[in-house]
Structure 1
Amino acid sequence: MRFLKTTGKVLLFLSLALGLGTWYWLRSLRPDYSTTLTLSELKAPVEVLYDDYGVPHIYAQNEEDMYQAFGFVHAQDRLFQMEVLRRLADGRLAEVFGEKALSSDRFFRTLSFRQQAKLTIDSLYNTQPDAPFVRAAKAYMKGVNQYIKQGKTPIEFTLAGIPKTEFTLEDMEIIVGYMGYTFVDAFRSEAIATLIQEKYGTAYLQDIMANWPAGEPRISTQAQETSTAQVTAAQALGHMANQLTTMESSLPAPPYHGSNGWAISGSKTKSGKPILSNDTHIAFAQPSVWYEAHLECPGFQFYGSFLAGTPTAAMGHSQHGGWGLTMFENDDADFFREKINPKDSNQVWSKGGWVPLQVREETIKVKDQPDQTLLVKRSPHGFLMNESMENLAKETQPVALWWVYHQFPSHHLESFYGLAHARDASEAGAAVSKLTAPGLNVMWADTAGNIAWWAAGKIPVRPAHVNPMLILDGASGADDPLGWLDFSQNPQILNPESGVLFTANNQPDDMGSGLVAGYYVPGNRANRIGQLLLTDKADWTEADVRKVINDVTSPSYVKTLQEILPVMQVEKLSPSAKNALQKLSAWKGEHLLSSVEPTIYYRLMYHVMKNLVRDELGKELFLAFEHNTNFKRNLAALLANDASPWWDNVLTPKTKETRKEILTLSLNEALTDLETQLGADPATWRWERVHTLEHKHPLGILPLVGRFFNVGPFPAPGGRETINNLDFYVDSTGNYPVVYGPALRRIVDFGNWEQARSVLPTGQSGYFFSKHYADQAELFVEGGSRPERMNRADVEKVMQGKLVLNP
């Protein structure tokens, strides 16, 4: 017995010692914020002050030292995030995560970001090696690689068995390429549009795929203040769209989705200077997408939000001015159905003759599995997408992706470097004009009092007969793009008379060349922003704008309910459905944590959408279609159209269903589901029970230790297409975990540019043992903010550490 007691004490002691040792080891891997290090090739010492939220404030004596130091500290906080983005964009996840990542690797190898990066390096960087933006990029990469050589190894590398390898300029460019892909909505839309057109006709297509509904808000511009083969190709591309939806839900790096942005002229603000507001909508993940840093050297003072692995900020401001971004949503990608030579599968018909495909062999390494071979084929229009997806490679109707991104070298680095150094709207516009793809709305404001907006990106000129939302004919050449609009014809405006400009991914007005085709989202957010900003108020402050950026009310949904609720057959509603009808009739559109109405509303809309379109599309395409932007923006008009053919269930040919029958059925089904899911008492169906936000780390799936990497979940206010746009999939579950939303909320009053306000969804650090890993998570959910400090004296008051980098 004594022996057992002694053995137990020894084991307990060893367990405690092991646990304590592990704890100290994990603490030792935290970033060093207070130390002195040597970085070779620096020309002079650099100081890095870390504030109370872990934001680095870098003070250098020249620009190249500044960017080298930034590369070092960026890698110190976010090296694993950089590695994951590089592997994802390069199609090298399967090396680490095994066979389950193979579909992602096949897809991104086909998109050929590495080859496009080489084109950019050869045509831009190597031809002008002394250009300031090239020198900045090289200095940044030097700093990243110095950390890789002499810094600590993040725990994720050890757990996942990833070797640390140096980064190159090509790696930086492929990360930018991935960002561009996530903006392309054509992958999810054009197959379904073609299938509807060919199988059911124009009447069906127009009701859910119209370009921009009449009466919906547009962004003001300066000018205004089927065939069997088609069906086969559409079905193949539809399968790909569904696979992409599934794939993106498990990607270790988040795709981009939308955003809000606006600028208010100094004539309407209390400070007398413009106010700029921006919240970029990106799928949530951990670490947060953006990394904030304040950079200073003689002649340059700047605070920005940076993507992992890139030296230039995607958003930011200086003492002169600053900018924000939203997605332009223009259609910059087309799919072409190619005609394969029956005697040679590596030839396609093009403009009267057979032409060879360009073929490249890729070897994909798979952890614990044999290597996989992928043939990447390119037609005159672009890469054949069938090869990239399982079970589609043998389709007899291959589909090629024509994408603006593949037509030009990338000027992203040059453009955003220029924006960071711009001193006025003219210089900012010149920098923006160089962007090609993806399409971006760039909002600008400056201390001189200007506000401006440009829809940036190369806009193709298509033949008049072409509907770019459909799969096009690749054989004849008749559907091929004709050229490009000059940047002066891109939608844009400088200093509007209203004193306000805003974008919420809605349709811009035209500049005399017609509306730019695109996958613009519903006007819900734009309507609400206009409702709140376009007033006589002339004393706007940062605090006032903060209330707008956190707004969770959707008047658009109220209008939808006012249209459909009176149509329902009350006598055929269940008692609980009648009670729900009364609640929805009085709803003002709020999505508060305590609200019950949004829980009922989205359950109702799921059943309405299911009963409207699933019979025509089938189960698989319906799942891919639910989040389709065209469908969402045309849904209100469809619900108001009593004569739409969609109301009839094509699976019941002897019965013609009506609008009132479908709506009544949907409300009854919704209430049956809610009672099963949440109980019989509607008072308990609070929004906070079903709408939650969790930030998932790529290693969060690991057993036991994975939960330490994820942040949340938190009950979250806001909803689908509210200004505080915490979106989700509306599906059969009745639960709405947030899939994307504001990746930051940032407001700059240029009357006090040294004290802008921002908040990240989680925190600055990418290391789970750091106090800055999730120190903004609750602040974010609650709609709070913290300062973007640019005055050194202010930084020193809250300084948490000082890193000195010596030559």
Structure 2
Amino acid sequence: MVKLGQITRPSSMKKFLLGLCLIVLLTLTASYLYLNHLKPSYSGTVNLPELSAEVEVLYDDFAVPHIYAENEEDLFYTFGYVHAQDRLFQMELLKRVSSGRLAEVFGPEALETDIFFRTLSFEKHAKWAIAERDPNAPFMKAAAAYIKGINQYIHEGKTPIEFTLSGIPKEDFTLEDMEKIAGFLGYTFEAAFQTEAVMTYIDAKFGKAYTKDFDQSWPDEEYKIPVDNKAIALAKNLALIEQKLSKIDEKLDFKPFHGSNGWVISGSKTKSGKPILSNDTHMAFSQPSVWYEAHLECPTFKVYGNFIAGTPVPALGHTYAGGWGLTMFENDEADFYSETLNPENINQVRYKDTWVDLETREEKINIKGGADTTIYVKKSPHGYILNGAFEDLDGTAEPIALQWVYHKFPSKHMEVFYNLCKAKDATDARAAVEPLTAPGLNFMWADTSGNIAWWAAGKLPIRPEHVNPYYILDGSTGNDDWQGYADFDLNPQTLNPERGFLYTANNQPDDMGNGLVPGYYVPSNRAKRIEQLLDTDKTDWTEDSMRDIINDITSPTYSEIIDSLIQNLDKTVLNPKAKSLLSKLGNWDGKHALESTEPTIFYRWVFEFYQVAMRDELGEHFYPSFERSHVFKKSMKTFFENENSPWWDNINTPEKENRDALISEALNKTVAFLENQLGENPEEWKWEKVHSIEHPHAMGKVEALRHYFNVGPFPAPGGRETINNMSFGMDSTGLYKVTAGPALRRIIDFSTPQKGHSVLPTGQSGYFMSKHYDDQAQLFVKGGKRAELMARPDIENVMIGRLVFKP
């Protein structure tokens, strides 16, 4: 006989399970509804209490806001609100890293990063820049209105989920925050931190015979640091600083410029008869995208632009009259000085035969989950002392000071870009860019009047003739000091060149009669390819044919390097598989298509070659610094072709190795590695299997959140220093995970400036549940485009929402 209790138990369990499922379902539904509620609002009405008149925002089909106002203050006030709605967390991270305030929310792990950026003193220089400006200047009123709009959203708008997940409190923005962000961007452009460190170390440790392969710009007999223990210790400390900074950069969630391409073609060579501007800025990939697009319009200010989070005026943009693009100038605007401490007073250094006091500033850093700490930022006559920014630098070595143009002048970036938005022609544009101090930038210009122009803008230090700025300098005598700054007329520039086009690809510019500008210019790979494609008799260029160039994935330099390697290797020691690849490699045209196999072989061969050539000298500690530096890329071809380089000999063996044997050994190692990685059939060694892009979000560092916040990975065409430039590190993994590349691709035909074309790497929105978080990602990888609209009827045809702001 079955008891009653035995019959009812299953029914009770079923009810329990059903109840549990219902609770889970309700929780998931509530979570989804809550997260969905946090999406940006693209339609409706918003009250902004300090507006003087109604402002209208139309959102196009890619969620680009088109803002219409009756005056500039209302325009920028509304833009600050709209920008914050899409990118507030991105703004917050930029503000905190540039302020040295990450440890407040992320704890002790972020302390070293904070100390370094406090040492760079962005806040002090932000206050200086603002104090030097007239608060009633139009660009300052625009900035103040923009900041007010951001804060209005912070107070009344939705809180992005990242703030909740990370525990970061929302707080108001200030004009100083805007300036600090600009200073941080300037730091990220500085190649001196990478290159001067490794070059100084190699020179001090091994001598000029080893550096001549990489320093092609300086006579052998000039300027050499004595190879003694003090010099080596000094060079080692500088190299250690670079290694520390590389680790800091890896942690940062915003890593901007790495290069860029830009060119302008005059109307004499275009089908429309008007100039065409093409620009793709090379920046570290991140999510959300670095650039934010917006169209701002009122009676006195009309521009379609690309904006950095927390900044009110576009760094890239165009109007109905003209437009501009940017690339990094790559000029050397920072030097390192070895300072001599007073043995009787550690707060003094030797300068021009006397002891001078160091300026000292106290900084308190709050640390989440730990005790607050106080640091002392010191400054010599040359600049801020870097040693104190890193705990474990060799305390016995002399201090290293950074002299940087950014620190020498109050920033002018706000007025430069504001005035560019107002420029009507090349004369106005030149006047707008002339005041720029740092970082150095190449401005390309085109206008509807038919002008094309290029200006390398920035303050250029005048150095003594004996000084090689690629090495650490002596701060004690004053003999190595800068002697002033060149007049802007001597900066490289051109207006309406006879051949009908101009370009910049981070390559060395010609001089203006006063010598070449020192800098960290990249190899001519991209410049050479651009020249090949543009310097033709073609006179019917269009936006579409320009896009073929901006997406080009062929490197003429790499095919030349392959030819040189093949000609000089020792075939007698090659294994059969390696020999069978020579014909295929010899016919490579340098194209980096997804289905190509040659790039996979080439980059591994280069990696193995550098390994066998340089690891014995630089070791595991300093070799990565070399691989990250500009000299690695710039000198590859000349390095491989120098059969007498001392690098070929392994210093750890009694016999003397030669280049040809190393080339062969590297190819054998390449084949063995790829067989193990991708299989024995070389036809399966396709580029798409090893080369990919992923756009990382700060929250994506948590593995459980990576799928939701990161975008990608996607197989990607292109490679190092192709026009479609995809930057990656080369390490033992054999995987080439792209870290930087085109942060947008934009082309404007000035016969129709109201309809340019562009594409972002992911999307406009910074919110992971928005359709517009990643709606351009596949379009970007495939080399596509979408319209940049300025004509209201065109915008209304694709409009997805209308947001009205009322007083």
Query: Is the CA contact (8 Å cut-off) linking 1:208 and 1:630 kept in structure 2?
Result: yes
> How far is the alpha carbon of 1:227 from its aligned partner?
4.1
Q: Distance in 2 between matches of 1:97 and 1:676?
A: 41
Partner residue in 2 for 1:249: 250
Identity among equivalent pairs (%) = 57
Equivalent position amino acid for 1:787 in 2: A
Quickly say closer, same or farther: Cα 1:197–1:647, change in 2 above 3 A: same
SS at match of 1:152: coil
> How far is the alpha carbon of 1:732 from its aligned partner?
1.3
Q: 1:119 is matched with which residue: 120, 128, 136?
A: 128
Q: Distance in 2 between matches of 1:393 and 1:702?
A: 35
Partner residue in 1 for 2:203: 197
> How far is the alpha carbon of 1:252 from its aligned partner?
1.2
Query: Is the CA contact (8 Å cut-off) linking 1:210 and 1:630 kept in structure 2?
Result: no
Pairing 1:278-357 to 2, within 5 Å after superposition: 278-357=279-358
Partner residue in 1 for 2:742: 742
Q: Distance in 1 between matches of 2:266 and 2:228?
A: 53
CA shift digits 1:737-779 (9 cap, x unpaired): 0010000000000011111000000000001111111100000
> How far is the alpha carbon of 1:99 from its aligned partner?
2.3
Equivalent position amino acid for 1:191 in 2: A
Larger mean CA deviation between 353-362 and 717-726 belongs to 353-362
Partner residue in 2 for 1:600: 601
Q: Distance in 1 between matches of 2:195 and 2:228?
A: 18
Structure 2 residue 173 is the aligned partner of structure 1 residue 172: no
Normalized against structure 2, the TM-score is what?
A: 0.97
Structure 2 residue 192 is the aligned partner of structure 1 residue 186: yes
Partner residue in 1 for 2:136: 130
Query: Is the CA contact (8 Å cut-off) linking 2:463 and 2:481 kept in structure 1?
Result: yes
Partner residue in 2 for 1:702: 702
Q: Distance in 1 between matches of 2:577 and 2:98?
A: 50
SS at match of 1:496: coil
SS at match of 2:518: coil
SS at match of 2:699: coil
Structure 2 residue 789 is the aligned partner of structure 1 residue 789: yes
Structure 2 residue 51 is the aligned partner of structure 1 residue 29: no
SS at match of 1:238: helix
SS at match of 1:442: strand
Structure 2 residue 632 is the aligned partner of structure 1 residue 631: yes
Q: Distance in 2 between matches of 1:782 and 1:244?
A: 34
Q: Distance in 1 between matches of 2:475 and 2:666?
A: 42
Query: Is the CA contact (8 Å cut-off) linking 2:267 and 2:450 kept in structure 1?
Result: yes
Q: 1:152 is matched with which residue: 124, 144, 158?
A: 158
Structure 2 residue 660 is the aligned partner of structure 1 residue 660: yes
Q: Distance in 1 between matches of 2:231 and 2:445?
A: 43
Partner residue in 1 for 2:68: 59
Larger mean CA deviation between 68-77 and 635-644 belongs to 635-644
Query: Is the CA contact (8 Å cut-off) linking 1:378 and 1:400 kept in structure 2?
Result: yes
Query: Is the CA contact (8 Å cut-off) linking 2:237 and 2:394 kept in structure 1?
Result: no
Query: Is the CA contact (8 Å cut-off) linking 2:301 and 2:421 kept in structure 1?
Result: no
> How far is the alpha carbon of 1:614 from its aligned partner?
2.0
Query: Is the CA contact (8 Å cut-off) linking 1:340 and 1:396 kept in structure 2?
Result: no
CA shift digits 1:535-564 (9 cap, x unpaired): 000000000000000000111101111111
Pairing 1:541-620 to 2, within 5 Å after superposition: 541-620=542-621
Structure 2 residue 439 is the aligned partner of structure 1 residue 438: yes
CA shift digits 1:623-657 (9 cap, x unpaired): 011121123111101111111122112222x2111
> How far is the alpha carbon of 1:394 from its aligned partner?
2.4
Q: Distance in 2 between matches of 1:285 and 1:408?
A: 31
Structure 2 residue 85 is the aligned partner of structure 1 residue 76: yes
> How far is the alpha carbon of 1:685 from its aligned partner?
1.1
> How far is the alpha carbon of 1:253 from its aligned partner?
1.1
Equivalent position amino acid for 1:770 in 2: S
Q: Distance in 2 between matches of 1:729 and 1:395?
A: 33
> How far is the alpha carbon of 1:393 from its aligned partner?
6.6
Q: Distance in 1 between matches of 2:256 and 2:432?
A: 25
> How far is the alpha carbon of 1:390 from its aligned partner?
3.0
Unpaired runs of 5+ residues, structure 2, are: 1-9, 220-226
Partner residue in 2 for 1:384: 385
Q: Distance in 1 between matches of 2:361 and 2:301?
A: 45
> How far is the alpha carbon of 1:599 from its aligned partner?
0.5
Q: 2:110 is matched with which residue: 83, 88, 101?
A: 101
Query: Is the CA contact (8 Å cut-off) linking 2:286 and 2:696 kept in structure 1?
Result: yes
Partner residue in 2 for 1:538: 539
Larger mean CA deviation between 621-630 and 719-728 belongs to 621-630
Q: Distance in 2 between matches of 1:75 and 1:517?
A: 39
Equivalent position amino acid for 1:806 in 2: K
Larger mean CA deviation between 419-428 and 99-108 belongs to 99-108
Larger mean CA deviation between 796-805 and 369-378 belongs to 369-378
Q: Distance in 2 between matches of 1:551 and 1:374?
A: 49
CA shift digits 1:63-92 (9 cap, x unpaired): 111111111100000000000000011111
Partner residue in 2 for 1:669: 669
Partner residue in 2 for 1:237: 238
Q: Distance in 2 between matches of 1:392 and 1:620?
A: 15
Q: Distance in 1 between matches of 2:246 and 2:201?
A: 18
Q: Distance in 2 between matches of 1:555 and 1:176?
A: 36
Partner residue in 2 for 1:727: 727
Equivalent position amino acid for 2:47 in 1: T
Q: Distance in 2 between matches of 1:194 and 1:726?
A: 28
Query: Is the CA contact (8 Å cut-off) linking 2:107 and 2:370 kept in structure 1?
Result: yes
SS at match of 2:366: strand
Query: Is the CA contact (8 Å cut-off) linking 1:520 and 1:630 kept in structure 2?
Result: no
CA shift digits 1:274-329 (9 cap, x unpaired): 00000000000000000000011013321000000000100000001000000000
SS at match of 2:541: coil
Q: Distance in 2 between matches of 1:52 and 1:395?
A: 61
Aligned residues: 791
Q: Distance in 1 between matches of 2:208 and 2:678?
A: 41
Equivalent position amino acid for 1:400 in 2: A
Equivalent position amino acid for 1:182 in 2: T
SS at match of 2:213: helix
Q: Distance in 1 between matches of 2:728 and 2:638?
A: 22
Partner residue in 1 for 2:3: none
Unpaired runs of 5+ residues, structure 1, are: 214-225
Pairing 1:250-265 to 2, within 5 Å after superposition: 250-265=251-266
Query: Is the CA contact (8 Å cut-off) linking 1:286 and 1:697 kept in structure 2?
Result: yes
Quickly say closer, same or farther: Cα 1:567–1:686, change in 2 above 3 A: same
> How far is the alpha carbon of 1:203 from its aligned partner?
2.2
Partner residue in 2 for 1:208: 214
Q: Distance in 2 between matches of 1:175 and 1:465?
A: 36
Query: Is the CA contact (8 Å cut-off) linking 1:248 and 1:255 kept in structure 2?
Result: no
Q: Distance in 2 between matches of 1:714 and 1:73?
A: 30
Query: Is the CA contact (8 Å cut-off) linking 1:386 and 1:395 kept in structure 2?
Result: no
> How far is the alpha carbon of 1:706 from its aligned partner?
3.4
Equivalent position amino acid for 1:18 in 2: T
Query: Is the CA contact (8 Å cut-off) linking 2:648 and 2:662 kept in structure 1?
Result: yes
Q: Distance in 2 between matches of 1:532 and 1:476?
A: 50
Equivalent position amino acid for 2:132 in 1: S
Equivalent position amino acid for 1:265 in 2: S
Q: Distance in 2 between matches of 1:588 and 1:267?
A: 31
Q: Distance in 2 between matches of 1:356 and 1:71?
A: 44
Equivalent position amino acid for 1:628 in 2: S
Partner residue in 1 for 2:4: none
Partner residue in 2 for 1:223: none
> How far is the alpha carbon of 1:575 from its aligned partner?
1.7
SS at match of 2:217: coil
Q: Distance in 2 between matches of 1:106 and 1:681?
A: 51
Q: Distance in 1 between matches of 2:506 and 2:407?
A: 23
CA shift digits 1:152-172 (9 cap, x unpaired): 100001111111111000000
SS at match of 2:532: helix
Partner residue in 2 for 1:7: 16
> How far is the alpha carbon of 1:233 from its aligned partner?
1.3
SS at match of 1:676: helix
Query: Is the CA contact (8 Å cut-off) linking 1:194 and 1:230 kept in structure 2?
Result: no
Q: Distance in 2 between matches of 1:89 and 1:519?
A: 24
